[in-house]
Amino acid sequence: MITLDNVSKYYGDFKVVSGCSATISKGEVVVVCGPSGSGKSTLIKTINALEPIQEGRIVVDGIQVTDRSTNLPRLRSRVGMVFQHFELFPHLSIADNLVLAQVKVLGRSKDDAHTRGMKYLDRVGLKAHAGKFPGQLSGGQQQRVAIARALAMDPICMLFDEPTSALDPEMVNEVLDVMVELAREGMTMICVTHEMGFARKVAHRVVFMDQGSIVEDRSKEDFFGGGGNHSERSRQFLSKILSH
Amino acid sequence: MAYEFDFSSVTPAAIKVLGDGMLVSLKITAVAIVFGMVWGTLLAMMRLSRQRPLRWFAAGYVNLFRSVPLVMVLLWFFLIVPQLLQKLFGLSPANDLRMTSALVAFALFEAAYYAEIIRAGINSVSRGQLAAAYALGLNYPQAMGMIILPQAFRNMVPLLLTQGIVLFQDTSLVYVSALADFFGRAYSIGERNGRIIELLFVAGSVYFIICFSMSLMVKRYRKKVAT
């Protein structure tokens, strides 16, 4: 469903993403990890063209992302994205955060959008907070709202860009629980995260990146199975994040 | 011998005349704020645009207007705009276009200042907000109009209001075109009665009271937002 073919991106002369290729099928959950600055966030942002690329090809659900004639807003409306810093719109109520894009982008009626929004808000356990503003919620609650906001658009897949790394430790699990549930329902997901517990629980595949390149792309069993064929770089990385 | 103040020329009739002048001042202020902000917002967006010609145009515009005295701009417009309008629309020279040219001059001049305030406001909204708006499928005008600008304006309310207070004071400069605003009328009443000092004192007090109470309100708003 999502194909990355030899994707490269430069900031000036600096190659942030270097010749990355991967295929993600429908219903698959892929966890992308790697040291900071390895280009993981940039790579997943190329999938909905938030980061333009200079080389390579990206196809999402049969649509060429890199084609100049592609209607990017339309494509993006079908790809849900959750950000590290939530990015709820602080001047709008929670309900309006959920409704806005449904009405303006998908052309749903306000009532319809509200009903759907409330359904997803209920799913993440925050229906009682619909009238509040983002600033009145905790980080974990805001991130759950952000997930609901993305889901309300009925996306064909979801991209998560370090969804828990800006959260206080005690709020990480409430967000991961929502993500696990989503994965078990069969949502196609690409998650940049260091939460290896989450990866073990629901990922099908783990991609390890370093210095802009995909160093490893293997099944979860293979990745965590302790097989001796890890690259030196990923072994170092894993020993650092798994030792505690 | 000490100067003896004599306020007897401030009669009810004079106050009525001054009141009419105040309406002129307020009208210029209001029009300049509205058009200055609209045009200033467009300029700010051009200055932040990826299109180099737009960026250059906006930067040139802002720098030009911010580098010349307002009085000079007013005089230019007072001398040029009426002739231009008369040529363009075939108006008779008898039409009084002083008000129009003053409004145009103020709006264009203030836009340069508003553009800088609004540009700072747009930059104060985190880049992630635009990314989030795009990720939901909003296009640039929607993202700007519904997500970025409302937050930019909210962050900039105190500065925008302060600029409005400065603008209100600056409207007194229309006296160069003999337009009868509050200040101009106060001056001419004073001149007629040989009591310029008293009338300037009255006018100054009115300006002070209005502007100072406005800036107190801005201060209170700032405090309210901060807590």
Residues of B in contact with A149 (CB under 8 A): 136
Average pLDDT, chain B: 90
Given a cut of 70, whether residue B94 has pLDDT beyond it is: no
Those residues whose C-beta lies under 8 Å from the C-beta of residue B40, and which sit 6 or more positions away, are B110, B111, B112, B113, B114, B115, B117, B118
DSSP-derived pairing of the beta strands A55-60 and A63-64: antiparallel
Q: Which residues contact B192 (CB under 8 A, 6 or more apart)?
A: B9
Residue A243, classified by CB atoms within 10 Å of its CB into exposed (0-12), middle (13-18) or buried (19+), is exposed
Count of pairs with CB atoms under 8 A, one residue in A, one in B = 61
Give B96 or B158, the one with higher predicted confidence: B158
Q: How far is Cα B193 from Cα B75, in angstroms, rounded to an integer?
A: 28
Mean pLDDT of B203-227: 90
User: Please, how many CA atoms are within 13 Å of residue B50, restricted to the half-sphere of its CB?
Assistant: 1
Using the predicted structure, report yes or no on whether residue A241 has a pLDDT greater than 80. Answer: no
pLDDT exceeds 80 at position B31: yes
pLDDT over threshold 90, residue A156: yes
Q: What is the mean pLDDT of chain A?
A: 92
Give φ, ψ of B8 to 5 degrees. -65, -15
Question: If pLDDT is split at 50, 70 and 90, which confidence band does A225 have?
Answer: confident
Q: Average pLDDT, stretch A219-234?
A: 78
Residue of B128, B132, B154 lying closest to A91 (CB–CB)? B154
Q: Taking CB atoms and an 8 Å limit, are A104 and B138 in contact across chains? A: yes
Distance CA A58, CA A17 (A): 13
Q: How far apart are CA A5 and CA A66, in angstroms?
A: 11
Is the C-alpha dihedral spanning B86, B88, B90, B91 positive or negative? negative
Judge: A50–B135 Cβ closer than 8 Å, yes or no: yes
Distance CA B168, CA B182 (A): 11
Per-residue confidence (pLDDT) for residue A227, from 0 to 100: 63
Average pLDDT over residues A23-50: 93
Tell me: the pLDDT tens digits for B98-148?
888 889 899 999 999 999 999 999 999 999 999 999 999 999 999 999 999
Q: What is the ipTM of this complex?
A: 0.92
With beta carbons under 8 A apart, name residues in chain A contacting B135.
48, 50, 76, 79-81, 83, 150
Residues of A in contact with B139 (CB under 8 A): 73
Band (pLDDT 50/70/90 cuts) for residue B165 is: very high
CB contact under 8 A, A87 and B129: yes
B191 has a pLDDT exceeding 70: yes
Question: What pLDDT score does A109 carry?
Answer: 95
**What is the 3-class SS of A94-145, one letter each residue?**
HHHHHHHHHHHCCCCCHHHHHHHHHHHHHHCCCHHHCCCCHHHCCHHHHHHH
Task: Identify which of B134, B138, B154 has the shortest CB distance to residue A50.
Answer: B134
To which H or E segment does residue B87 belong?
A: helix B70-89
Confidence of residue A240 (pLDDT cuts 50, 70, 90): confident
Residue A117: CB atoms within 10 Å: 26
Give the pairing of strands A189-192 and A29-33: parallel
Helix/strand/coil percentages in chain A, nearest 5: 40, 25, 35
Residue in chain A nearest B145 by alpha carbon = A104
Q: Are A189 and A178 within 8 A, CB to CB?
A: no
Average pLDDT over residues B185-212: 91
> Does residue A212 surpass a pLDDT of 80?
yes
CA atoms within 13 A on the CB side of A208: 19
Has residue B227 got a pLDDT over 70? no
Min Cα–Cα distance to chain A from B153, Å: 11
Domains and CATH numbers, chain B: 12-226 (1.10.3720.10)
Q: What is the mean pLDDT of residues A40-56?
A: 93
pLDDT at B132: 96
pLDDT band at B174 (very low <50, low <70, confident <90, very high): confident
Higher-scoring residue by pLDDT: A94, B97:
A94
Tell me if residue B59 falls in helix, strand or coil.
helix
Nearest residue, CB atoms, B147 vs list A76, A89, A106: A89
The closest alpha carbon to A4, from A28, A26, A25, A20, belongs to: A20
Q: 10 Å Cβ neighbour count for B189?
A: 24
A83: Cα separation from own chain's centroid: 7
Q: Closest-CA residue in chain B for A91?
A: B151
Query: Tokens 């409704």, residue?
Result: A99
Tens of pLDDT along B41-53? 999 999 999 899 9
Top-confidence residue, B96 or A203: A203
For B134, which of A76, A88, A104 is closest by C-beta distance? A76
